[in-house]
A and B are shown apart, each in its own frame.
Chain A
Amino acid sequence: MTTILTDAGEFEVPQAEVSGDALWLSAREAEEATGWVAKPEGLCKGEVCVPLPSGREQEFVRGTRVNVAALGRHLGQPVLRSDRGHVWVLARSARDRSQALRSLQAPDFTLPDASGRPHSLSEYRGKKVFLVTWASW
């Protein structure tokens, strides 16, 4: 079992194939965890398509499997793995995050309250929101 942490959440992927710094997922798992889909024009997420570097296609896509770690690195995103390769983080790049912030549209997020009920920022659209952090420490 491989645990993959992305901005879409935490995913337990039974059939992931880890080899060194490669993380191969089935097309369905890759889409679920990262949003990226292999298409003839390259790897696509929504409207955005990234062409695969010529001659290096095999590093990214083999048959129906996608190397999401190689894709993340290719996009300049932090890609980390635990020593044993059983936990991976595929994060968003600072460039992506900065660009989102510069639009001044607050990025939506969902977090649980103490009873586990999820709340999304977007549920409070139409109100002024004072979003304030604190901690027990």
Chain B
Amino acid sequence: MWQALYEELAAQNFVVIAVAMDSREGDALPWIEAAHPTYPTLIDREHLMAELFGVVNVPQAIWIDEAGRIVRPAEAAGAYEGFRKMNRATREMPEEVARLTAGAKSTYLDAVKDWVRRGPESEHVLPAESTRAHLPALTEDMATAQAMFRLGQCLLRHGEKEEGNRWLGEASRRHPDSWCIWRQSAGVNDTGLAALPEFWERVDALGEKRYYLPVDMKGMP
């Protein structure tokens, strides 16, 4: 998805940095090999992106300008939770939902392109005060949860499965809004996705809450 964006904009002083929040060594590699990205693709096994930027789900993106300033904090990167309305037996998507999903993606990509072209003049670059207001609120519980996650992953790397998994469970209880913590620790189905029945139960338990937090961008569903 990002390779075409990168190729289109690379000549305009623009780079994509993709960060795989994958703790198990090697999980991200087949995906990277298949995508042949020409931009840097990094591996974040301890979920540093969550600690630094408050990332709670993927794909979330942060826009950073030439001076290293955040112009849009972590937010869903063109993703719409249409999968919640999918027919789970046939995996079919209602047409209306497919339209919303495609719209979210193209609206978001157009916004990135507008930013790259127009810089601070882009309507998608928020004034500093507004950018601050959009920053994810980091709490001490979240900081503790990310520390627990890191401890758990380190123990798993040392082969200490039982205690490692216990810390991951603790981390998820401490920071339940993080799908990154939960899905990283969850079992995966035959396609490698953490989408076993427990996942769907957890999604259904959201009720009216969003799986991807709403993005403050004109035209986003």
Contact = CB atoms under 8 A, between A and B. Distances in A.
Interface of A: 3, 5, 10, 76-78, 80, 82-83, 87, 89, 91-95, 97-98, 100-102, 104-109, 111-114, 119, 121-122, 124-137
Given A91-B150, A101-B73, A132 B17 contact: yes
Contact of A137 (B54, B142, B194): B194
Contacts of B20: 133-136
Going nearest first, the 6 A-B pairs with the smallest beta carbon separation are: A91-B147, A111-B42, A132-B61, A78-B147, A94-B143, A129-B64
A94 B54 CA distance: 10
Interface stretch (B21-29, B96-104, B213-221): B21-29
Contacts of B193: 137
Q: Tell me what chain A mostly uses at the interface: helix, strand, loop, or mixed.
A: mixed
Contacts of A108: 68
B59 interface: yes
Contact of A82 (B2, B12, B48, B151): B151
Contacts of A133: 18-21, 44, 49, 55, 58-61, 77, 180
B144 A78 contact: yes
Contact of A127 (B32, B66, B138): B66
A83 B160 CA distance: 11
21 contacts: A77-B143, A78-B143, A82-B155, A91-B147, A94-B138, A94-B142, A94-B143, A101-B138, A111-B19, A127-B15, A128-B66, A128-B116, A131-B61, A133-B18, A133-B20, A133-B49, A133-B61, A134-B59, A136-B31, A137-B22, A137-B186
Given A111-B44, A114-B43, A128 B14 contact: yes
Interface of B: 2, 5, 12-22, 27-32, 40-44, 46, 48-49, 51-55, 58-70, 73, 77, 112, 115-116, 119, 128, 131-132, 135, 137-140, 142-144, 146-148, 150-151, 154-155, 158, 160, 163, 167, 180, 183-184, 186, 188, 192-194
B72 to A, nearest CB: 10
A58 B127 CA distance: 48
B187 to A, nearest CB: 10
Chain B at the A interface: SS class: mixed
